[in-house]
Amino acid sequence: MAVTLQQIADAAGVSRGTVDRALNHRGRIRPDVEERIQKLAREMGYQPSRAGRALAMARRKIRIGVILQYTETPFMQQVLEGVKEGKAEVEGFGGTVEIYEIQGSMPGRVIEIMETLRKREFNGIALTPSDDEMLKATIDRFMEEYQIPVVTLNADLEDTRRLCFVGQNNYQSGRTAAGLMGEITGGKGRVAVISGQMVNPGLNSRLKGFQREIQESFPEICLADTRYSYDDEWVAGKILEELLELYPDLTGIYITGHGVSGVCRALKKAGKDREMHVVANDFLKENKKWLEEGTLNFLIGQESRVQGHAPVMILFRKLFDNEDPKEEFQYTEILIKTKYNI
């Protein structure tokens, strides 16, 4: 039978309210009484009931806002699912979660929504950031001036005071890809990288991690120059054709982001889809298909649902239990999939 506040109150010879003040550091209590009650609670193994607390706090509501950019992409749709799971969980405790979806990238719109949420007395915000000075300043203002915690998800803004970040360690993801490429090529041959936009910091980190690890651990692998598909499937395919012509001895390809289908189709057309070693990113339907067909050897994933779910729950624990996240960088797992464990 779990210990309740009332039982501690009885044992201490005080009222429930006093025990509450002692255990939750609310002040307005004599220090020696506070200490005595805390000790007693510890001895009795008191664990507060989340249900009781949730119900009592239903008046002063917990309101969490989630702002997602690039929601037109399948990847963000997966993140969105995770957010919705968190929403259901929080609302079961009497809180509110509102979700804002932005197509493409619009940092100005993110700021607007943040201000609206503040006026509506929301008390926590999770968002996918952009590398924008105004947005950075706004995040800092929310954290410091308004005491509204902000969690970044999927991408980070390290130079802000955001509560924490939930997402992948892209550099490490790139290194993982290099390790896989080294294994399947036997550490030999020529390997090319196809990336997305040149300005995408996430993809650049993967690229850097990949290059660095290939150079250090597989010195016999010759890296061809990196090409950019600008997130266009057709361009990606075109790049592949050029690479095949330029380097008839090409043995491996690493795709940091978009363009997987373009590359795979072109490989198939050239009759090289079996022999070429290909490592790509993200568990999208299309990509899984290429993995099952055997065109891709490995697919690296990043727990998209967790990236939506965890930020909501971190904010909830902060607001409900006043519990800070243990880590500033909440890196999601780097998942490796073959056609067998998809």
Nearest distance, CB of residue 149 and DNA, angstroms: 17
Q: With H, G, I as helix, E, B as strand and everything else as coil, classify residue 102.
A: coil
Residue 189 contacts DNA per CB under 7 A: no
| Site for DNA contains 222 (CB under 7 A) | no
Tokens for 11, please give them.
């044992």
Phi-psi region of 68 (alpha: psi -120 to 50; beta: other; left: phi over 0): beta
What would the two tokens of residue 9 be? 């109150």
Cα–Cα distance between 233 and 216 in angstroms, integer? Answer: 31
Residue 183 binding: pick among its own copies, DNA, none (C-beta 5-8 Å cut-off by kind)? its own copies
Give least dist CB 89 to DNA, A.
Answer: 15
Q: Between 5-12 and 16-23, two packed helices, what is the crossing angle to 10 degrees?
A: 100
Q: Which of DNA, its own copies, none does residue 17 bind to, with CB < 5 to 8 Å depending on kind?
A: DNA
Q: Which lies closer to its own copies via its Cβ, residue 98 or residue 231?
A: 98
136/318 with CB nearer its own copies? 318
What is the C-alpha separation between 251 and 236, in angstroms, rounded? 17
Least Å from the CB of residue 14 to DNA: 4
- Check if the beta carbon of residue 6 is closer than 8 Å to that of residue 48: no
CB 299 within 8 A of CB 287: yes
Among 38, 105, 172, 226, binds its own copies (CB under 8 A): 172
Residues in 282-301 that interact with its own copies by CB under 8 A: 297
Query: 3-state class of 196 per DSSP?
Result: coil
Do residues 218 and 182 lie in contact, with contact meaning Cβ atoms separated by under 8 Å?
A: yes
What is the x/- site pattern for DNA, positions 66-95, by CB under 7 A?
----------------------------x-
Nearer to its own copies among residue 14 and residue 300 (C-beta): 300
Q: What element of type H or E holds 96?
A: strand 96-101
Binding of residue 10 to DNA (CB under 7 A): no
Q: Cα(16)–Cα(243) distance, rounded to whole angstroms?
A: 74
CB of 96 within 8 A of CB of 61?
A: yes
Output phi, psi for 45, to 5 deg: 70, 40
Closer to its own copies by Cβ: residue 3 or 223: 3
For residue 6, the partner it binds in DNA, its own copies, none, with Cβ less than 5 to 8 A by kind, is DNA
Are the C-beta atoms of residues 65 and 116 closer than 8 Å to each other? no
Please state the closest distance from residue 183 (CB atom) to its own copies, in A. 5
Classified as helix, coil or strand, 18 is helix
- Pattern 194-213, its own copies, x by CB under 8 A: -------------------x
With CB cut-offs between 5 and 8 Å by kind, which of its own copies, DNA, none does residue 27 bind? DNA
Q: Per CB under 7 A, does 123 bind DNA?
A: no
Binding region for DNA (CB under 7 A) out of 15-23, 133-141, 177-185, 277-285: 15-23
- Is 17 a binding residue for DNA by CB under 7 A? The answer is yes
Site residues, its own copies (CB under 8 A)? 1-2, 47-52, 54-55, 58, 91-94, 96, 172-173, 175-176, 178-180, 183-184, 186, 213, 297, 333-341
